A and B are shown apart, each in its own frame.
Chain A
Amino acid sequence: MSGPDQPPKASPEETQGSEAPQGPEPPAGGASPAETDGNLPARLGEERLNAPVIRQGMFGVQGTPDTSGYGLLRVHKAPPLHSERPYGSYFDEIADALGGALEAAGLGFSDAIERVVVDRGEITFHVRRERLTEVATKLRDDPALRFELCSGVSGVHYPDEGGRELHAVYHMLSITHNRRVRLEVSVPDADPHVPSLVAVYPTCDWHERETWDFFGIIFDGHPALTRIEMPDDWKGHPQRKDYPLGGIPVEYRGAKIPAPDERRHYS
Chain B
Amino acid sequence: MGIEEKLPSGVLLTSVEKAAGWARARSVWPATFGLACCAIELFQTGGPKHDLARFGMERASNTPRQADLMIVAGRLSQKMAPVTRQIYDQMADPKWVISMGVCASSGGMFNNYAIVQGVDHIIPVDIYLPGCPPRPEMLLDAILKLHDKIMNMKLGKNRDREITELENARLGLRPLHLAEPAEADL
A and B touch in the complex (CB under 8 A): yes
List residues of chain A with CB under 8 Å of any chain B CB.
229-231, 234, 238, 243-248, 250-256, 259-260
Q: Which of B23-31, B109-117, B125-133 lies on the face that meets chain A?
A: B109-117
Q: List, in ascending order, chain A residues with CB within 8 A of B177's CB.
A: 251-256
Distance in angstroms between the alpha carbons of A243 and B114 in the assembled complex: 12
B79 contacts the other chain (Cβ, under 8 Å)? yes
Residue of B nearest to A231 (CB): B79
B78 contacts the other chain (Cβ, under 8 Å)? yes
Say yes or no: A253 contacts B184, CB within 8 Å: yes
Query: Shortest Cβ distance from B44 into chain A, in angstroms?
Result: 28
Distance in angstroms between the alpha carbons of A83 and B122 in the assembled complex: 54
Query: Shortest Cβ distance from B170 into chain A, in angstroms?
Result: 16
Offer 28 A-B interface pairs, CB within 8 angstroms, sorted by A.
A229-B79, A230-B78, A230-B114, A231-B78, A234-B78, A238-B114, A245-B111, A246-B112, A247-B111, A247-B112, A247-B117, A248-B107, A248-B111, A248-B117, A250-B111, A251-B175, A251-B176, A251-B177, A252-B176, A252-B177, A253-B176, A253-B184, A254-B181, A254-B184, A255-B177, A256-B177, A259-B111, A260-B112
Say yes or no: A244 contacts B111, CB within 8 Å: no
Distance in angstroms between the alpha carbons of A254 and B79 in the assembled complex: 33
Q: List, in ascending order, chain A residues with CB within 8 A of B79's CB.
A: 229-231
B163 contacts the other chain (Cβ, under 8 Å)? no
Known contacts A231-B78, A231-B79, A253-B184: does B113 contact A246 (CB below 8 Å)? yes
Known contacts A245-B113, A248-B111, A260-B111: does B78 contact A253 (CB below 8 Å)? no
Known contacts A230-B79, A231-B79, A248-B117: does B111 contact A254 (CB below 8 Å)? no
B179 contacts the other chain (Cβ, under 8 Å)? yes
Query: Shortest Cβ distance from A140 into chain B, in angstroms?
Result: 34
Q: List, in ascending order, chain B residues with CB within 8 A of A231's CB.
A: 78-79
Q: List, in ascending order, chain A residues with CB within 8 A of B176's CB.
A: 251-254
Assuming A238-B113, A260-B111, what are 19 further A-B pairs, CB within 8 angstroms? A230-B114, A231-B78, A243-B113, A244-B113, A245-B113, A246-B112, A246-B113, A247-B111, A247-B112, A247-B117, A248-B111, A251-B175, A252-B177, A253-B177, A253-B179, A254-B181, A254-B184, A255-B177, A259-B111
Query: Shortest Cβ distance from A213 into chain B, in angstroms?
Result: 11
Residue of B nearest to A232 (CB): B79
